[in-house]
């Protein structure tokens, strides 16, 4: 019987550090070709090949011919079982430094890596939680014993543990909009820690739960810091999308503006209606803001959007200079480019929206399956 005694597991956290630190790693992905082509592990220093598991049942010679000698090798599958089997075969063929991804792509999809973005003027800090396997970004704003979490992922225990480590109490959870690519943990986290849950009311017309109305003109205090929501009503990705200015220095843009792209307006089936709002937000509302604000989006589409410390951020001025979605001068051309070149829709996005409205209560395993795959909230995420 095969054992795993010689195989070394690699956790999603360890793999994240490989990617952030741009370390060399060879990946053998043994999922089927459709799943691999739809969603794979990428990064500078990462070399990846795909040989489906069923092609390796009779031996791993085909894999050995392509696996470099003397380099760390990570075998990846959906849940880990197939990768353990293949990794053991490779070791028995005489290779060393062979790892398998613990928990498979499901664990990769769920891992959250906190990275400090910067300090606040009164002594607080802002952290970006990078869900590197799915391209989702959430935030914790900390100031004088209190915290607020923005665009919370469903793995709420990560935020609770981090808050405990920082010796702060989570007072608020906020969603910039009703999400369609991942299940929000904002309401659950608020219930668990006794915080207020905030949601834009224009996105909440069908929700089945109570929430605090996130509207223009509000100032939500976090310790000695203010999350200044006025006047950043920023529709386009959804009709209620709202951006936050934090400490007069950071602009949390939700799914409206990313580092290399812009948000898509079609996930509620209203692309033609909302593309005008998207244009107005990007070309008018945001242009009224100080251009030295540091943009912190809710997603990234490519690993190259992550900076040296692993976070995704850039000044508003940089984005107006370099982001293709902010440099389409003609509004008619903008409408055409946005509505006619949309990427595939996120996996199970309708069910995710229903869940975030409180209309569905899927099990934890069902939630994992609903979220598998890339986020595809940006125009360039094809």
Are the C-beta atoms of 232 and 261 separated by less than 8 Å? no
Q: What residues form DSSP beta bridges with 297?
A: 254
Q: What is the pairing mode between strands 225-228 and 219-222?
A: antiparallel
**Integer Cα distance of 135 and 265 in angstroms:** 18
Strand order in the sheet with 125-131: 113-119, 125-131, 136-143, 146-150, 169-174, 196-199, 212-213
Active-site positions read 77
Residue 213: beta bridge partners? 199
**What is the reported pLDDT for 5?**
46
Residue 231 preceded by cis peptide, ω within 30: yes
Give strand ranges (E) for the chain.
8-10, 25-29, 46-50, 73-76, 98-101, 113-119, 125-131, 136-143, 146-150, 169-174, 196-199, 212-213, 219-222, 225-228, 244-246, 250-254, 294-297, 314-315
Of 339, 330, 260, the residue nearest 297 (C-alpha): 260
Task: Looking at the structure, give the CATH architecture of the domain made up of residues 8-108.
Answer: 3-Layer(aba) Sandwich (3.40)
Strand arrangement, sheet containing 314-315: 219-222, 225-228, 244-246, 250-254, 294-297, 314-315
Q: In what order do the strands lie in the sheet with 25-29?
A: 8-10, 98-101, 73-76, 25-29, 46-50
Task: Give pTM, 2 decimals.
Answer: 0.92
DSSP class of residue 323 equals -
- Pairing status of strand 244-246 against strand 146-150: unpaired
pLDDT at 229: 57
Closest CA to 78 of 102, 97, 57: 102
The pLDDT, as a whole number, for residue 381 is: 47
Beta bridge pairs of residue 245:
228, 251
Closest CA to 82 of 111, 106, 109: 106
Q: How far apart are the first and last CA of the chain?
A: 43
> Can you give the pLDDT at residue 348?
86
pLDDT in tens, the chain (382 residues): 444 447 899 999 999 999 999 999 999 999 999 999 989 999 999 999 999 999 999 999 989 999 999 899 999 999 999 999 999 999 999 999 999 999 999 999 999 999 999 999 888 999 999 999 999 999 999 999 999 999 999 999 999 999 999 999 999 999 999 998 899 999 999 999 999 999 999 999 999 999 999 988 888 989 888 776 545 889 988 999 999 999 999 999 999 999 999 998 877 777 787 899 999 999 999 999 999 999 999 999 888 899 988 899 999 999 999 999 999 989 999 999 888 878 777 778 899 999 999 999 999 999 998 988 877 777 764 4
Predicted confidence at residue 3, as pLDDT, reads 46
285 phi and psi, to 5 degrees?
-60, -50
Contact 126, 117 (CB under 8 A): yes
For the domain bounded by 112-371, which CATH number is listed?
Answer: 3.60.15.10
CA angle 180, 183, 185 (to 5 degrees): 135
Per-domain residue ranges of the chain? 8-108, 112-371
Q: How many CA atoms lie within 13 A of 314 on its CB side?
A: 18
Tell me, yes or no, if the two domains 8-108 and 112-371 fold the same way: no
- In the numeric block, which tokens belong to residue 90? 């490779």
Question: Are 258 and 299 spatial neighbours (Cβ–Cβ below 8 Å)?
Answer: yes
């Amino acid at each position: 019987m095969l054992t795993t005694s010689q195989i070394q597991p690699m956790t999603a956290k360890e793999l994240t550090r490989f990617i952030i630190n741009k370390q060399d790693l060879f990946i053998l992905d043994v999922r089927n070709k459709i799943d691999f082509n739809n969603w794979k592990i990428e990064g500078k220093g990462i070399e990846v090949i795909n040989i489906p598991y069923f092609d390796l049942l009779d031996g791993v010679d085909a894999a050995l011919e392509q696996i470099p000698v003397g380099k760390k090798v990570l075998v990846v599958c959906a849940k880990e079982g197939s990768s353990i089997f293949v990794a053991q075969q490779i070791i028995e063929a005489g290779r060393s430094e062979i790892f398998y991804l613990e928990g498979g792509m499901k664990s990769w999809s769920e891992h959250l890596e906190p990275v400090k973005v910067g300090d606040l003027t009164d002594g607080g800090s802002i952290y970006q939680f990078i869900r590197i396997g799915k391209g989702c970004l959430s935030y914790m704003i900390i100031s004088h014993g209190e915290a607020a979490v923005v665009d919370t992922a469903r793995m709420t225990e990560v935020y609770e543990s981090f808050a405990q480590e920082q010796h702060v109490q989570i007072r608020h959870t906020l969603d910039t909009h009703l999400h369609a690519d991942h299940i929000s943990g904002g309401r659950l986290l608020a219930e668990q820690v006794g915080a207020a849950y905030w949601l834009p009311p224009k996105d909440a017309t069908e929700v089945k739960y109570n929430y605090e109305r996130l509207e223009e003109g509000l100032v939500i205090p976090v310790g000695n810091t203010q999350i200044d929501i006025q006047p950043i009503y920023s529709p386009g990705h959804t009709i209620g999308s709202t951006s936050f200015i934090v400490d007069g220095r950071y602009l949390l843009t939700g799914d409206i503006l990313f580092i290399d792209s812009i948000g898509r307006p079609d996930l509620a089936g209203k692309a033609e209606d909302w593309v005008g709002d998207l244009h107005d937000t990007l070309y008018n509302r945001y242009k009224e803001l100080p251009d030295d604000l540091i943009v912190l989006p809710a997603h990234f589409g490519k690993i190259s959007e992550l900076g040296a410390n692993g976070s995704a951020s850039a000044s508003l001025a940089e984005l107006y200079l370099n982001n293709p979605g902010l440099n389409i001068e003609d509004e008619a051309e903008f409408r055409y480019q946005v509505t006619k070149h949309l990427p595939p829709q996120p996996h199970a996005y309708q069910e995710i929206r229903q869940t975030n409205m409180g209309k569905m209560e899927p099990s934890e395993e069902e939630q994992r399956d609903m979220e598998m795959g890339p986020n595809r909230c940006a125009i360039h995420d094809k």
